Structure formats: structure tokens, C-alpha cells
Amino acid sequence: MKTKKTLLGLLVAAVLLTGLPAMAQAATITISGSTTVAPLVTLLAKGYVNSPAGKGTKFKLLQGGSDIGVADVARGRVSIGMSSRIPKPSDPGGLVFNEIAKDALCIATHRSNPVANFTQEQVQSIFAGEARNWNGIPGSNKSGTINIVIRTAASGTQDAFDKIFMAPKKTFSGATQKASNGLIQQQLQRDPLAIGYVSLAFQSGVHVSNYKGVPCSLRAAKSGQYPGTRPLFLVTRGAASGASEQFINWIRNNPAALRIAAKEWVPFK
């Protein structure tokens, strides 16, 4: 009799446990996309897994550019796509762009060529390939061909630059294209005749110019004075749900998450 009761107890325990696999299993959130959003999401993910809300959550993060992130989430390859551009009419239907912060795009040069300020007209003239020599640019101490460095077509940063700085003009077809903020930063660090644009988190080792008389700084971005800001998104297929929804809600509302974002970005409001 005692043996039968013991066996019955074990069977009941087994039945109860089989009803709890989702609770017992750690949630895994897969993310891909923007190289601009990735540094922020990396910090937020670390903060999340160390918080009570994210205990047991695992992350797998890949980059590749905003268009890659949007395409991946639309096809169900990842839980979340990272995007540093606003939605395009050509994006697949049913996607939700969840804003998590704002970033600023800074016009930058080599440190040996510290141009103090660029007007929009100057930026458009240079990046459209109309002004080709530094000796015609006010504030430059260089003479030589301007080496224009931009992002690749899949980049949300390139899309944002085109809309904020260049419209209605187009960027120069002969510009050097780089696949990430970090690669543009490296090019500007080593090329005295280069000009490009980087996010706030990639200013180290380059000279950042004012734009329209306003410094490209975190303070100016937070106050709304800097005219080159753009939103950063986590994209989901339909409304965010499950672990993705919990993570995005934590980013938008948790004081610890807002403090993480405030270090180099404009937190979600």
C-alpha cells in the first residue's frame, strides 16, 4: 500500500511538471539589425537579465543593418529587428516599430581638420559631390579632394541621413560606403581628408562639428535643439508579445533602463 501511494505521488508530480515547461524554460529573445541600435540594446539586455523582470532570459544578438533586421523579423527569423530608420512604404505589412530612444547623427572629420560648423547647404554640397576640394570649405585647414564616407544602402543611418540632412538632394554615388558606424569612425580617424557622419556613441577619436550652429552633443539632443536627431526602434511582427513585449516595456518604463539609455542616447519619453 505504501509503495502504491509513493508511485501515485510520483505520477501526480510528473503530470504537474509536464504542465510547466514554458515556466521552467528560460525565454530566448533573438535580435538582428541596426549597428546603431546594437550598442544600446546590448547594454539594455545586460541590465535586463540582471533585473528581477528579466531573470532567466537569454539573448542572441546579430547585426547587419536596419533593412536586415526589418526583413528578419518580417520573415520570423528573429523575435525583434533593430532599426534606426522610420518605416518605409516598401516594408512588409503587419510590422510594429516600437520606439525605444532617440539618437543624434553628427557630421565628423579627422581631428586635424576641425571644421567648427556646417550649414545644411554646405553639408548637401559636400555629400552630393558638388564641392570636391577642402580649400573651398570655410573653416577647413586642408587642401585636397574631399573623401566622402557614407553608410551602405541597407543602413537605417543612411536612410535617416538622406531624409534629415540631404533631401531633396542625393548622396554622391562615388562616396566610400561602410557597413557600420564603427567602420566610418575608423576611416575618419585615419584619413585627414575624410568627412562622414556617426552616431553620438561613436565620437571617440574624431572631430565632431556643429550643425546649423548647434553642437552635436547629448545635451543638445535631449533638449531638442540639435536638428539631426532620429528615433531608434525595436521592430516586432504584429504587436509585441511574450518575452519581447516584457523586454520592450521594461526598456520604456523601468528607471534602470532609462538610466542606461540616458548615458549616450535620449531615453524614451
Domain ranges of the chain: 2-102+231-267, 104-229
Cell output for 58: 537569454
- With helix as H, strand as E and coil as C, how does 133-161 read? EHHHCCCCCCCCECEEEEECCCCHHHHHH
Mean pLDDT score of the chain: 90
Sequence-distant (≥ 6) Cβ neighbours of residue 86 within 8 angstroms: 97, 159, 160, 163, 230, 231
Residue 7 pLDDT exceeds 80: no
Residue 21 pLDDT exceeds 70: no
Two domains, one topology: 2-102+231-267 and 104-229: yes
Closest CA to 137 of 189, 50, 147: 147
Separation of alpha carbons 240 and 99, rounded Å: 12
Q: Which pTM does this prediction carry?
A: 0.85
> pLDDT of 158-190, one tens digit each?
999 999 999 999 999 999 999 999 999 999 999
Phi, psi of 145 (to 5 degrees): -65, 135
| CATH number 3.40.190.10 is the correct assignment for the domain at 104-229 | yes
> pLDDT of 52-111, one tens digit each?
999 999 999 999 999 999 999 999 999 999 999 999 999 999 999 999 999 999 999 999
HSE at residue 51, side-chain half, CA atoms within 13 A, is 17
Residue 5 pLDDT exceeds 50: no
CATH topology of domain 2-102+231-267: D-Maltodextrin-Binding Protein; domain 2 (3.40.190)
Distances (CA, A) of 130 to 107, 121, 125, 126, 223: 17, 11, 5, 6, 33
